[in-house]
A and B are shown apart, each in its own frame.
Chain A
Amino acid sequence: MDIATQAIEGGFADPVFDAQTVFRAVMDAMARPGTLQPLPVFARPPAPLSATAGAIALALCDNDTPLWLDLVLQAPAAVKSWLGFHTGAPLAHTPADAHFALIATPAEMMALDGFSQGTQDYPDRSTTLILQVSDLVSGAPLLLEGPGIETTATIAPAQMPRHFVEQWKQNNQRFPRGVDIILATPEGVACLPRTTRIKTMEA
């Protein structure tokens, strides 16, 4: 398949309702951190962009939201042209300019504080990170607490960034500034908003 076809195919079959379903899954995941909100396959973006991450980008991004892609996603022209065709989102020049960042290899990603943190006056002007992970059970377990969680929740996302617990602690300390994370797995989405605290698990 040539690049032009790849860029055009694989969008939402039913844009209005697919976008609503994807958004509701992300909203429920953001409101209940650590829960997996299942999502069927709605989008077929070119590799290495995953179906879930692609669907989230289609649901939330448009010409108002500069996008930043990590090195793996920047490399193939097909990903950029697919996102460009379906969302119209411009690519951000630096991670700090991005409203959304798509990250295919979280284990190798740059530090969280390299992205826009928002300002103390406008903490909403921060980057939302969309991390592609293979599952939420095979990584190091994270014990979560905070708004949206009745007592505690546990997830163990695979391929998380280096020193993630330490980085997340710093992200918490910047509150109300900070980044929010959407974890895109093949089964669905889970979120870590900036209010979620990770308690280190003993052994």
Chain B
Amino acid sequence: MTAQPTDIATYNFAYLDEQTKRMIRRAILKGIAIPGYQVPFASREMPMPYGWGTGGVQVTASIIGPEDVLKVIDQGADDTTNAVSIRAFFKKVANVAVTTDTAKATIIQTRHRIPEHPLTAGQVLVYQVPIPEPLRFLEPRETETRKMHALEEYGLMHVKLYEDIARHGRIATTYAYPVKVEGRYVMDPSPTPKFDNPKMHRSPALQLFGAGREKRIYALPPFTDVVSLDFEDHPFEVQTFDQPCALCAAENVYLDEVILDDHGGHMFVCSDTDHCEKRREQGHRGHLAPETPPALEKREPAQ
């Protein structure tokens, strides 16, 4: 039940002290009650620098219990530095089970992707958010952006999208694409590719957003309307890819470009590593997959 007993003093379960957890928990409840509104909270210093997901880590630490199964992804991958270190952090301070399997996780902390495998009711997706304020690059003053949210004055955001069209002929925003939540608050979905925006709309999972440096928490309850801003004559569109994943031949997923050599060779592979591995286990093969797939040794999530 508790963290492993040792002779020396240990941290509280899930690192944060109980008063901090209560404060964050209250902010989470307000965030759920006012979808898309950024609730200020007293963000703590964490044993990792700002920009490494301190907001998401604090949210996860406040909701996680001993029965939870945690998955952490960084740009869709389970095996990159940020994901590995946060997963190791929670294994150490909360002694929880970890997984890379999207379907088995109860809490998924993510940096900038939503898994390809559909989320289900009962799962919680925790986003790490760098800049929670969608209007910040248009209006640097917090006093003004707060008033704009209060008065539902979002004309500036539409002007920005319009200027994209005037300059590029299309809306050039490809990530952190602004959304409107339940017809009220304009919200930054964190720097996820706009490819993932439609997955937020009426998702059965609870979505929580934590911004540690900016000290804001916001939330999307399940089955909440999340509409990407657009214009009648320039409707919202997601990225499409000309080719399937080079390893698992998946289509209609988000792909990363990987440079192969210094002669312009490159390949496109699934950004969601769990999804890609699962498909290859099922026998799907892309044009660059090895001839005889090495028996995909089932690795434990990295330490």
Nearest residue (CB) in B for A33 is B221
Q: Give Cα distance in the complex from A105 to B225, angstroms.
A: 35
Question: Do A148 and B34 form a contact, CB below 8 Å, given A59-B22, A60-B26, A124-B39?
Answer: no
- Residue on A with the closest CB to B25? A23
Main SS of chain B's interface residues? mixed
Beta-carbon contacts under 8 Å, B156-204 to A: 182, 184-185, 204
- Asked whether A202 is an interface residue with its Cβ less than 8 Å from the other chain, the reply is no
Closest A residue to B42 using CB positions: A64
CA distance A126 to B29 in the complex (A): 12
Chain B 112-156 near chain A by CB (<8 Å), digits 1 or 0:
000000000100000000000000000000000011011100000
Give the complex CA separation of A46 and B95 in angstroms: 35
What residues on B are CB-neighbors of A148 within 8 Å?
32, 221-224
Known contacts A16-B13, A123-B34; A24 and B21 CB within 8 A of each other: no
Interface residues of A in 169-189 (CB under 8 A from B): 175-176, 180
Known: A15-B18, A64-B23. A195 touches B33 (CB 8 A): yes
List which B6-49 residues lie within 8 A (CB) of chain A: 12-13, 18-19, 21-23, 25-35, 37, 39-40
Instruction: Judge whether A17 and B184 touch: CB under 8 Å.
Output: no
Those of A111-132 within 8 Å (CB) of chain B: 119-124, 126, 128
Contacting residues, chain B, for A99 (C-beta < 8 A): 26
What CA separation (Å) do A149 and B25 show in the bound complex?
A: 21
Nearest-neighbour CB distance to chain A for B147, whole angstroms, equals: 7
Q: Are B184 and A175 in contact (CB under 8 A)?
A: yes
- Measured in the bound complex, the distance between the Cα atoms of B23 and A150 in whole Å is 29
Q: List, in ascending order, chain B residues with CB within 8 A of A61's CB.
A: 22
With A30-B32, A121-B147 in contact, do A20 and B26 touch (Cβ < 8 Å)? no
B258 adjacent to chain A (CB < 8 Å): no
Which residues on the A side are within 8 Å of B33 (C-beta)? Answer: 30, 180, 193-195
C-alpha gap A24/B65 in the complex (Å): 9
Residue of B with least CB distance to A65: B26
Q: A32-B221, A62-B19, A148-B223 are in contact. List 5 more A-B contacts (CB 8 A).
A: A16-B18, A17-B66, A60-B25, A121-B146, A147-B35
List residues of chain B with CB under 8 Å of any chain A CB: 1-2, 12-13, 18-19, 21-23, 25-35, 37, 39-40, 62-66, 121, 146-147, 149-151, 182, 184-185, 204, 206, 219-225
In the A-B complex, the 9 residue pairs with the smallest Cβ-Cβ separation, listed nearest first, are A193-B33, A148-B221, A124-B30, A147-B224, A120-B150, A147-B221, A180-B33, A31-B206, A31-B221
Subset of 21 A-B contacts with CB under 8 Å: A19-B18, A20-B13, A20-B64, A20-B65, A23-B25, A23-B62, A23-B63, A24-B63, A27-B29, A28-B206, A30-B221, A31-B219, A32-B222, A59-B25, A61-B22, A124-B31, A124-B34, A124-B39, A148-B222, A150-B223, A195-B35
